[in-house]
């Protein structure tokens, strides 16, 4: 089934539907708050391993302006090893269920495993955020389509364990764009409505600092595929390399700067650890752009 979005008109494809409704992203972008329930994530590993602490963190992310709370039970930092399905479920399911009991916030589950996605959706998740773009588990597209959930399709070169070993592209923007086009095609062919899909170039996932910059600059070319673009740069190492920010705490404001630039280039969803400053900067950028 061919996609009708090879090059969509500017502004097209800015409704992103999910199990609880839809985001209208034409005028305002949204912030996705990161909730890692892992022992080894690069910036907050081990901080929220207990379900009660993780649920409170999710509520705090919502209070700080996150429209989506993204719950992940498997680290995808460079060098990370896979986590068994049962362990990933043990980490995420109580958090998703507990958060759903206490909040109407949109919940996404950050997983590339169809079995984990199915159980997370049953527990109350609304979106599946798949770092493999439905390419890791052949069952994933069908599970998400049958559930009525939304999805984020991300590009990653290789696997977390080896993705940063000298990644090379002929043309990183065109290579990533073509991967995302094919991922959209697969999802639609599997029964997912196009309006339930968002795309993510996978900043830091099998890319050098230079590749990351090229992709951020080319956000408008990715948005031309006709689906909302998610940028996830929060606290990542390329900010340290380019923004004189060697420590994690120093990467905060460089990340906010990327949010503003990305929004002006067409991104609409921003996955971050600290929602409030990103949301404030996002709204200011949108206000300025609206009156330009």
User: Which residues are annotated as catalytic?
Assistant: 236, 271
Residue with tokens 């606290």: 235
92: left (phi over 0), alpha (psi -120 to 50) or beta: alpha
Evaluate whether 266 touches 229 at the Cβ level (below 8 Å).
yes
- Determine whether 204 is exposed, middle or buried from the number of CB atoms within 10 Å of its CB (0-12, 13-18, 19+): buried
Tokens of 262: 């990305």
**CA distances in angstroms from 72 to 47, 174, 214, listed in the order given:** 13, 29, 27
DSSP helix, strand, coil percent of the chain (3-state; round to 5): 40, 15, 40
Q: For residues 44 and 260, is the Cβ–Cβ distance under 8 A?
A: no
> What does the alpha-carbon distance between residue 171 and residue 184 come to, in Å, rounded to a whole number?
20
**Rg of the chain in Å (alpha carbons):** 17
Contacting residues for 174 by C-beta, under 8 A, at least 6 apart: none
């Amino acid at each position: 089934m061919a996609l009708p979005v090879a090059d969509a008109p500017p502004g097209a494809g800015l409704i992103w539907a999910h199990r609880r409704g839809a985001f209208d992203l034409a005028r305002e972008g949204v912030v996705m708050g990161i909730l890692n329930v892992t022992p080894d994530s690069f910036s907050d590993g081990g901080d929220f391993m207990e379900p009660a602490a993780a649920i409170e963190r999710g509520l705090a992310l919502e209070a700080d302006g996150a429209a989506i709370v993204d719950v992940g039970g498997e680290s995808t930092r460079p060098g990370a090893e896979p986590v068994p399905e049962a362990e990933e479920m043990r980490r995420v399911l109580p958090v998703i269920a507990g958060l759903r009991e206490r909040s109407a916030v949109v919940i996404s589950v950050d997983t590339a495993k169809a079995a984990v996605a199915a159980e997370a959706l049953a527990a109350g998740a609304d979106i599946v955020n798949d770092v493999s773009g439905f390419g890791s588990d052949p069952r994933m597209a069908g599970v998400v389509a049958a559930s009525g959930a939304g999805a984020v399709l991300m590009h990653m070169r290789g696997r977390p364990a080896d993705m940063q070993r000298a990644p090379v592209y002929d043309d990183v923007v065109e290579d990533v764009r073509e991967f995302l086009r094919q991922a959209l095609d697969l999802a639609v062919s599997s029964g997912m409505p196009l309006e339930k899909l968002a795309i993510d170039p996978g900043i830091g996932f099998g890319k050098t600092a230079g590749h990351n910059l090229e992709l951020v600059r080319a956000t408008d070319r990715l948005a031309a595929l006709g689906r909302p673009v998610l940028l996830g740069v929060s606290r990542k190492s390329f900010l340290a390399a380019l923004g004189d920010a060697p420590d994690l705490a120093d990467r905060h404001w460089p990340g906010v700067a990327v949010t503003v630039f990305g929004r002006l280039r067409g991104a609409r969803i921003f996955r971050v650890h600290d929602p409030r400053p990103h949301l404030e900067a996002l709204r200011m950028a949108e206000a300025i752009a609206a009156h330009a």
